[in-house]
A = this chain, B = another copy of it.
Amino acid sequence: MAGNQRIVLAAKPQGLPRDSDFALVDGPLPQLGAGEVLVQCLWLSVDPYMRGLIDAVYPYVKPILVGDVMSGGAAGRVLESNDSSFKLGDLVEGYLGWQLYSAVPAAELRKIDLAHGPLSTALGVLGMPGLTAYFGVTEIGEPKAGQTVVVSAAAGAVGSAAGQIARIRGCRVIGIAGGAEKARHVVDDLGFDACIDYKAETDLAAALRRHCPDRINVYFDNVGGTTHDAVMTWPALDARIVICGSISQYNNPAAEQGPRRLKEFEMWRVRQQGFRAPDYRGRYKEFLADMATWVADGRMRYRETVAQGLAAAPAAFIGMLQGRNIGKQLVKLAEETGP
């Protein structure tokens, strides 16, 4: 605990980020201010939205500029606290950044109870990706029992949870994922009714017609692009399109072009709605009550892909943007039992 190590943005990526866009730098331990908590980061989360932060696309979130520490969720252990609600050894989650140690205001931390699951799940199925899936499905998608739900990036952290939530709600759930292994995982391990391997399909719209004979009631969109286009050729009446993310386009500097499909909106009374996971952070308890129950009783399964050590974070991030991970992509920094 002599000093801190952090990963900073060294250059603004053009398209897909490269290793050289990031740098591992040494620095002093953070100084603890009033009301702040010093946390040793044990697990880092890498998530698609971070690519957007680098491009400053979110009008309501501080962007990541060249020279900044990469921001992102992390889970760790309290080393020192200037706030009475946290004490040495507490396990916490928050936006701690890609670094070994982080000092943050106590109000930005969430205490983690291992009774719900291992610490890593606070960044995955029981964390922001799970929360995103939960409210995206229940509040934006609103699927009804017996309806057909399609989920893209179905083997990813958000998609895998979204599809299982729809299954728990009594829906028929069709995943879309890239590659045979992911498609197998989505059906065999996660229990989706079917999964389309888009890399093996020449005509995704036709595949959707085969798998969804009664059309698509809800589409949970994690990828945008031509996948969204294909779904929009086959909506059911009153279809709901949940715009959660557009990972297929995050590295595309041009405005993506595609068919507008406004006639389909009118004819099929389609509702398409975007949402922002941070807006639901105040409702963690509500989400956790359901989700932890489902994890415990086996109805909600999850997988993690784990990279080792802070230096591996950029490659883990770049790999995730290319769809190399299955389930939640994490970076493990240290054992939970302590240094």
Contact = CB atoms under 8 A, between A and B. Distances in A.
A228 interface: yes
A258 interface: yes
Copies in the complex: 2
Interface in A240-263: 243-246, 249, 255-263
B221 A262 contact: yes
A113 interface: no
A111 interface: no
A266 interface: yes
A262 B257 CA distance: 10
A229 B228 CA distance: 17
Contact of A269 (B221, B258, B268, B275): B275
Given A57-B267, A269-B273, A257 B256 contact: no
Nearest to A272: B272
A118 interface: no
Given A57-B263, A269-B274, A271-B274, 15 more contacts: A52-B263, A57-B267, A58-B267, A221-B262, A225-B260, A243-B266, A244-B266, A246-B260, A246-B266, A255-B260, A256-B260, A256-B262, A265-B273, A267-B274, A272-B272
Interface of A: 52, 57-60, 221, 224-225, 228-229, 243-246, 249, 255-276, 279
